[in-house]
Amino acid sequence: MNATMGRYRAVTGHRLFWPAAVLVVMLAANTIYRPGFLSIELKDGHLYGSPIDILRLSAPLILVALGMTLVISTGGIDLSVGSVCAISGAIACMYISKQSDQNSLVVVLTALAMALGVALVLGAWNGVLVAVIGIQPIIATLILMVAGRGLAQLITQGQIITINSEPFRAIGLGHLFTLPLAIFIALAAALLVAAFTRRTALGMIVESVGGNAEASRLAGIRSGRVIFLAYVLSAACAAIAGFMMTANVSSADGNAVGLWVELDAILAVVIGGTSLAGGRFFLSGTILGALIIQTLTTTVYAMDISPQTSLLFKAVVVIAVCLIQAPAFRARFARRRRSAPKPDTIADKPKEQVPA
Amino acid sequence: MTDSRPVLTMTGISKSFPGVRALHDVNFRLFPGEVHALMGENGAGKSTLIKVLTGVYDTDEGTITLDGEPVSFSGPMQATAAGVSTVFQEVNLCTNLSVAENIFIGREPRRLGAVHWGEVRRRARALLARLDLDLDVSAPLGSYSLAIQQMVAIARAIDIKARVLILDEPTSSLDAGEVAQLFRIMRQLRDEGIAILFVTHFLDQVYEIADRITVLRNGGLVGEYLTAELPQLSLVEKMIGKELDVLEGIEEHSRRDLAALEEGTPLVAVSNFGRGGAVEPFSLTIHAGEVVGLAGLLGSGRTEVARLLFGADRTDGGQVAVDGTASSLRTPAQAIDHGIGFCSENRRAEGIVADLSVRENMILAMQAARGWLRPVPRRRQDELVDKYVKALNIRPADPEVPVRNLSGGNQQKVLLARWLITEPRLLILDEPTRGIDIGAKTEIQKLVTQLSDGGMAVLFISAELEEVLRLSHKVAVMRDRQMVAQLANDDTLDADRIMQTIASGSHREEADR
């Protein structure tokens, strides 16, 4: 009995338990509404089905959220990721559209390298503003969030640039081993970021800086460098996400690409258990958070929830998820539940029983 | 006093945290009009007991009664409303708010729904007058010293019709005069019938003020005693659970010849280091194997000297030579490169990273020095951490517990381990024994002696002159943000002479020998 309780506690106490439970509940609700929801079929050598769609569509968000996780862990925030998505997509599409052979792999790779390079510069810009000049992260990245949209417009000269490039299209819609290529890209990025932070000491140092910046400085950590690196990494992740978003539609719209993705990314990070105050970060949690958000979006479409109410529906679910996540809320709930069947606890002891 | 009924009883209290059993079946009672000292080593469960009592933590088991009625507080606010007020160890006030706001925050007197500021200030002044404090109640709290802030916290606590006042190590940052003032207030409150629970590490203070003593050890109750019937030595034995192993061997240490130590190139020599508003320019040399004590009153500039030497603050001018070569100490990272380590007195804000585990906190400085690209291999981490957990007797001995779950004294040891792991050549210890029990204090003092015998230089800062005298080869005396003297610790130096120097600022002729 005790051992079972212990195991039960160990499972429910795991930090990924509640986000995972929410995801399972959402998938179950969808399956009840539409029994074929979880079915996957093989057509033309490709796997199709809602679960695959959710994975593929969540790939850009996962990428953005990975970078965001590191930034938030340092105690900062990066509002500019959406704009960076738009800029990198715009640069890649613009370059490809100017070439005679849009299907050349060399052309596409050059375009990607150029766009990624610019994104790194933008990340460095954020990093300098925050880590060197010392502007508050929310203000510093707000600059690029607003100005970046204009920059993307400038690059595309206010037009929606449409391209016809198979290699580029593959980033968003291609397949590998029967699965969408985007899934592998997101997976590879996740493994890379995980290796980059957990195989080196970067992760711990980021957590230390985010947890207590002054103590970290006095321990000899040059926190500026670490914070700078986090913003550069965040921009790089956003750039790859931007490629995916533009490749999905083979066009770059400076106004629409990656719009509001920063908010979804922040949400994914928070659902994943990383505190907005900085400190400990959880990459696996972030990925789960991104999947929850995409599943929610898919659910809204699948259940034919009217567009007028869909945002409200999403908001309600998100609030519920965040509350379930919060240990303080669960503790309050659990305390109430626990004290009910036990009349001998202090709180419930009736006054008459007290010896006078 | 004892014939009345207890105002507060705690029965069979147990509390566990993941990996730690903090309290086990503890009983405690408090009578009106007494000062009751709660004693125990670091990690004995004193702070946990208080937090359970005030509702910061839930109890796992046990009951609490107040005036015979069972109670269970959901938090300090509710406890305060019921008449159980607490002044916590670390001052929990907002330094950016005014003194008056701090006293009344959360329960401001109102008029027509709006805060009645005039009334707030008037009542704040009245309260402070009761404590004999003359402060500008509109000034931000941060403009006053830590000691004054502590008094304001007490004023806040007693404003409410408190029947039980809990003081968790209120004296650890006070100087002798301020302690006397606090004790006068405590006696006054006691005579008014308030029950005072008093936690401290200073044995003398217990015997000066407490009527009754409850001793905890390792989360368990050792016993409850009348102060008059418990000799000091048996109290210490009950706290540490073994015969007291006094500070043997340490005494001879400082008698080693200073002249011999100071031959050759100094490890660190600074001249005209200073910082406007913090400390006047000073010069100081520290040799390998030398323990330099830094004595002075609270706020005399001791910490500021340490921070300049570590590069935590930048000096306005002056030169520094490390091993005889001109150098600079402009950032902590630079100081660490020179083999300097610094244990801050403010371990919560400047020391531990509460989120991280004991292991991560310990290797932090070493990792920082290596850079993030060269992680310390896990096996090496485990070796080092194991070694220091054992050597410093850190409890609980689980390196994966978040450091926040440790008691203050054990956190201090984790910090010490962080620096020892870097094998520094000069270790700056700012109040390393403050808020630490006698057992750990002795351990740390012995450690300092061992380290200096092994060739490490130590800058030892402490408000306790006996401690400084026992360990140091030479004592630098601070007064009013000036280094007024450097005294060789020979047979002629004693606490009285240091006190005189602090008081008068004389003995300048002996400076810079």
Give residue-wise pLDDT tens across range B404-463.
888 877 888 899 899 999 989 999 999 888 767 677 778 888 888 888 888 899 999 987
Say whether residue B71 is in contact with chain A using an 8 A CB cutoff. Answer: yes
| Candidate from A218, A219, A346 with C-beta closest to B70 | A346
Residue B344 inside a domain? The answer is no
Q: Which residue has the tokens 């796997």?
A: A47
- Domains assigned to chain A: 59-304 (1.10.3470)
Does residue B47 lie in a domain region?
A: yes
Query: Same domain, yes or no, for B20 and B122?
Result: yes
Question: Considering CB atoms only, which of B69, B356, B374 is closest to A208?
Answer: B356
Mean pLDDT of A211-223: 89
Query: Is the domain of B50 the same as that of B182?
Result: yes
B78: closest CA of chain A, how far (Å): 13
**Domains held by chain B: number:** 3
pLDDT value of residue A258: 83
Tell me: do B307 and B417 sit in the same domain: no
Does the CB of B378 have a partner CB in chain A at under 8 Å?
Answer: no
* Lowest-confidence segment of A72-86, A215-229, A333-347 by average pLDDT: A333-347
Q: Mark yes or no for CB contact B364/A221 under 8 Å.
A: yes
Determine whether the interchain pair B349/A217 forms a contact, defined as Cβ–Cβ distance below 8 Å: no
Question: How far apart are the C-alpha atoms of B10 and B213, rounded to whole Å?
Answer: 15
Residues 158-197 of A with CB under 8 A from B: none
CA–CA separation, A31 and A33 (whole Å): 5
pLDDT of residue A242: 93
Q: How confident is the model at residue A84 (pLDDT cuts 50, 70, 90)?
A: very high
Average confidence (pLDDT) over A101-107? 81
pLDDT at B14 over 50: yes
A212 shares contact with chain B (CB less than 8 Å): yes
B161 and B276 fall within a common domain: no
Are the Cβ atoms of B353 and A211 closer than 8 angstroms? yes
Higher pLDDT, B242 or A142: A142
B401/chain A closest Cα distance in angstroms: 14
**Residue of A218, A335, A356 lying closest to B332 (CB–CB):** A218
- From the list B162, B144, B53, the residue with the least C-alpha distance to B94 is B144
Collapsing DSSP to helix, strand or coil, A225 comes out as helix
Note the pLDDT of residue B510: 43
Residue B342 pLDDT greater than 90, yes or no: yes
Q: Does residue B119 belong to any structural domain of this protein?
A: yes
Where a domain ends, among B360, B389, B423? B423
CATH number assigned to the domain comprising residue B104? 3.40.50.300
Task: Report ipTM for this prediction.
Answer: 0.78
Grade residue A347 by pLDDT with cuts at 50, 70 and 90: very low
User: Mean pLDDT score of chain A, rounded to an integer?
Assistant: 83
Partner B contacted by A202 (CB < 8 A): yes
Tell how far CA B274 is from the center of its chain.
Answer: 26
* For residue B106, pLDDT beyond 90: no
B276 falls within a domain = yes
Inter-chain residue contact B372 with A202, CB threshold 8 Å: yes
Axis-axis angle for helices B358-370, A202-211 (nearest 10): 110
Q: Which of A207, A217, A280 sits opposite B332 (nearest CB)?
A: A217
Is the pLDDT assigned to residue B244 strictly greater than 50?
no
B501 within a domain of the structure (yes/no): yes
Tell me the pairing of strands B164-168 and B84-87: parallel
Instruction: Determine whether the interchain pair B368/A219 forms a contact, defined as Cβ–Cβ distance below 8 Å.
Output: yes
Give the mean model confidence (pLDDT) for residues A110-118.
Answer: 92
How far is the C-alpha of B168 from the C-alpha of B87, rounded, in Å?
Answer: 6
Question: Do B114 and B233 share a domain, yes or no?
Answer: yes
CB contact under 8 A, B356 and A207: yes
Share of chain B above pLDDT 70, in %: 90
pLDDT (0 to 100) of residue B45: 84
A280 contacts in B (CB within 8 Å)? Answer: 355-356
Residue B315 has pLDDT above 60, yes or no: yes
Cβ <8 Å between B360 and A201: no
Summarize pLDDT for B16-25 with one digit per residue, the tens. Answer: 887 677 888 8
* Residue-number span of the structural domain to which B437 is assigned: 245-339+424-513
pLDDT at B39: 87
Interface-testing mutation among A12, A15, A200, A204, with chain B (most B C-beta atoms within 10 A): A204
- Same domain? For B381 and B497 the reply is no
Separation of alpha carbons B430 and B43, rounded Å: 21
Q: What is the pLDDT of residue A343?
A: 38
For residue B507, pLDDT beyond 60: no
Of A255, A260, A326, A245, nearest in space to A293 by CA: A260
What's the whole-number average pLDDT of chain B? 82
Q: Please report residues of A whose CB lies closer than 8 A to that of B333.
A: 220-222
CA distance A68 to A79: 9
pLDDT at position A120 is: 95
**Of residues A218, A280, A354, nearest to B69 (C-beta):** A354
Residue B172's pLDDT band, with cuts at 50, 70 and 90, is low
List b or e across B78-95, with b for residues whose CB sees 16 or more CB atoms inside 10 angstroms: ebbebbbbbbbbbbebee
B280 in A contact zone (CB under 8 Å):
no
- Peptide bond before residue B396 is cis, with ω within 30 degrees of 0: yes
Label residues A98-125 b or e (16+ Cβ within 10 Å = b).
ebeebeeeebbeebbeebbebbbebbbb
**Residue percentage of chain B with pLDDT more than 90:** 11
Cα separation, B233 vs B210, whole angstroms:
16
Check pLDDT > 70 for residue B511: no
Confirm or reject contact between A153 and chain B (CB < 8 A): no
Parallel, antiparallel, or unpaired for β B220-226 and B212-217?
Answer: antiparallel
pLDDT score recorded for residue A88 = 93
In this structure, the answer to whether residues B94 and B16 fall within a common structural domain is yes
Q: What confidence tier does B173 reach under pLDDT thresholds 50, 70, 90?
A: low
| A332/B contact by beta carbon, under 8 A | no
Q: Are residues B327 and B445 in the same domain?
A: yes
Report pLDDT for A234. 95
Q: What is the DSSP letter of B324?
A: T
> Which of B14, B67, B356 should one mutate to test binding to chain A, selecting the residue with the greatest count of A CBs within 10 A?
B356
Least confident of B142-156, B326-340, B362-376: B142-156
Chain A residues touching B58 at Cβ < 8 A: 335
pLDDT on residue A321: 76
pLDDT tens digits, one per residue of B175-206: 677 788 788 888 888 888 889 998 887 777 88
Residue that is last in its domain, among B240, B262, B287: B240
- What residue type is assigned to position B145 of the chain? S
Q: Is the pLDDT of residue A98 over 80?
A: yes
Q: Are residues B21 and B77 located together in one domain of the fold?
A: yes
* B259 pLDDT above the threshold of 60: yes
CB-based contact B352 A199, cutoff 8 Å: no
In a domain, B51, yes or no: yes
What's the pLDDT at B160?
Answer: 66
Enter the DSSP assignment of B98.
B
Among candidate residues B423, B454, B474, the one where a domain is terminated: B423
pLDDT value at position B257?
64
pLDDT of residue A115: 92
Asked if B394 and B410 sit in the same domain, the reply is yes
- Residues forming beta bridges with residue B20, ordered by sequence position: B17
| Nearest beta carbon to residue A214 from set B64, B335, B350 | B350
Residue B1 lies in a domain: no
Query: For residue range B28-87, what is the model confidence (pLDDT) as tens digits?
Result: 989 988 999 998 876 788 888 888 888 888 888 888 888 888 888 888 778 888 888 888
How much is the CA Rg of chain B, to the nearest whole Å? 24
Tell me, yes or no, whether B428 and B410 share the same domain: no
Name every residue whose Cβ is closer than 8 Å to that of residue B492 and which is 6 or more positions away in sequence: none
Q: In terms of domains, do B36 and B112 share one?
A: yes
Confidence of residue B242 (pLDDT cuts 50, 70, 90): low
Q: How confident is the model at residue B4 (pLDDT cuts 50, 70, 90)?
A: confident
Mean of pLDDT values over A269-288: 88
A92 phi/psi in degrees, rounded to 5:
-60, -50
